[in-house]
């Protein structure tokens, strides 16, 4: 993928932000190794269901990461294609002007040839029918010389500008070719990871699939409990903020107009997001029939009149970072060290998101993949 990703230094969670300490690939490898060690293997040496679940989840995560790379490359490709088209149009216009300037020079040369124009001298004076004829011819030649000089200057200037634009267009085409290569690579990676996940799941028996569903249900129940705990903490903080301050009059602490404006936009955003519940996750999709995670958040906030960038990598910087405890409905919640997933917070520890391939837009706990998966919370407007 191209270098639109911002580098991050190792660190710890501060005000709801957890900066990565290891590259995603390394984290995935460590996780899979530890899971393999802790999970009880099947009697025949085949991986346990817990291992299968974690492997499939890892593949889906990798597919989603590649999807965001695809989204970024697709966006850059579109912008670069527009730029190249503009440059090529400019080159065409300048080439036309250059041809017109060349024709003008040719007409001057032909005029001089027809009139025998040259520097006036005594012979020309003597051959003239009259002194007036001489002076008329001299003025004509003077005008031709001045206009010709201007035409030459114009031609040289236009030629230089045209060559510059041609070089820019050539460079733009080269960049476009490279970005299209990134786009194809990311697309192939997504398809390969999804194919690998389907292959793993296809080897499960009906009984194993049922047990795997039970494991998923247990995870969701645990995540719901953690969401409820977050909701309690947030409610307690809000109640504390509503306590009257006896040291100052109520008029000294007016409500923030921006908070009300944000709430209005957030309501529109959430109304749109709720209307998408049940639509399938499709990688690279931006609606209206299907979405990927960042496609959903972009479309939802657009419904509120706020323009967000296309990818999670850019959306995470498109607003004000707040702590998880201070999250408000409408805020964007980002996940994983490589910032490859995002959802829209709806309150009470819950969010609306497009989860992963094979799933549908739904409401789910922020802790669907554990608290450690939460990267940051961003308020877009």
108/146 Cα distance (integer angstroms): 11
40, 42, 47, 48: CA torsion to nearest 10:
-50
Phi–psi pair at 118, nearest 5 degrees: -160, 180
Antiparallel, parallel or unpaired: β 350-353 and 341-347: antiparallel
53/211 Cα distance (integer angstroms): 10
Helix, strand, coil proportions of the chain in percent (round to 5)? Answer: 60, 10, 30
Where does residue 193 rank: exposed (0-12), middle (13-18), buried (19+ CB within 10 A)?
A: buried
Catalytic residue among 4, 184, 353, 375: 353
Residues 6 or more apart in contact with residue 295 via CB below 8 angstroms: 71, 284, 285, 286, 287, 310, 354
Active site residue 293: yes
Catalytic residue among 4, 184, 341, 375: 341
Catalytic residue among 4, 184, 293, 375: 293
341/223 Cα distance (integer angstroms): 17
Coil, helix or strand at residue 93: helix
Catalytic residue list: 293, 341, 353
């Amino acid at each position: 993928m191209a270098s639109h990703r911002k580098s991050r230094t190792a660190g710890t969670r501060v005000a709801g932000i957890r900066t990565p300490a290891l590259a995603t690939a390394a984290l995935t490898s460590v996780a899979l190794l530890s899971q393999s060690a802790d999970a009880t293997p099947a009697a025949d040496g085949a991986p346990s269901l817990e291992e299968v679940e974690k492997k499939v989840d890892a593949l889906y995560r990798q597919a989603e990461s590649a999807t965001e790379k695809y989204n970024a490359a697709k966006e850059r490709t579109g912008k670069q294609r527009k730029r190249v088209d503009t440059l090529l149009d400019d080159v065409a216009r300048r080439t036309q002007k250059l041809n017109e300037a060349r024709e003008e020079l040719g007409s001057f040369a032909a005029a001089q040839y027809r009139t025998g124009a040259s520097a006036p001298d005594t012979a020309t004076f003597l051959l003239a029918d009259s002194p007036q004829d001489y002076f008329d011819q001299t003025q004509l030649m003077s005008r031709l010389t001045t206009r010709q000089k201007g035409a030459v200057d114009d031609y040289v200037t236009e030629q230089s500008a045209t060559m510059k634009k041609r070089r820019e267009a050539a460079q733009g085409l080269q960049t476009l070719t490279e970005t299209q290569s990134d786009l194809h690579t990311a697309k192939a990676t997504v398809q390969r990871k999804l194919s690998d996940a389907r292959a793993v799941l296809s080897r499960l028996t009906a009984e194993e699939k049922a047990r795997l569903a039970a494991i998923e249900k247990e995870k969701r129940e645990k995540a719901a409990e953690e969401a409820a705990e977050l909701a309690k903490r947030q409610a307690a903080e809000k109640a504390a903020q509503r306590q009257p301050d006896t040291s100052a009059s109520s008029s000294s602490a007016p409500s923030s107009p921006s908070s009300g404006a944000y709430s209005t936009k957030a309501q529109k955003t959430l109304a749109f997001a709720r209307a998408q519940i049940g639509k399938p996750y499709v990688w690279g999709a931006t609606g209206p029939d299907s979405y990927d995670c960042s496609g959903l958040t972009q479309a939802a906030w657009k419904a509120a009149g706020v323009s967000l960038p296309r990818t999670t990598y850019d959306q995470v910087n498109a607003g004000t970072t707040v702590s998880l405890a201070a999250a408000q409905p409408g805020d964007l919640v980002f996940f994983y060290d490589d910032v490859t997933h995002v959802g829209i917070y709806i309150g009470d520890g819950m969010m609306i998101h497009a989860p992963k391939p094979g799933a549908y837009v739904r409401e789910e706990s922020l802790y669907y993949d554990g608290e450690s998966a939460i990267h940051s919370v961003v308020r877009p407007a």
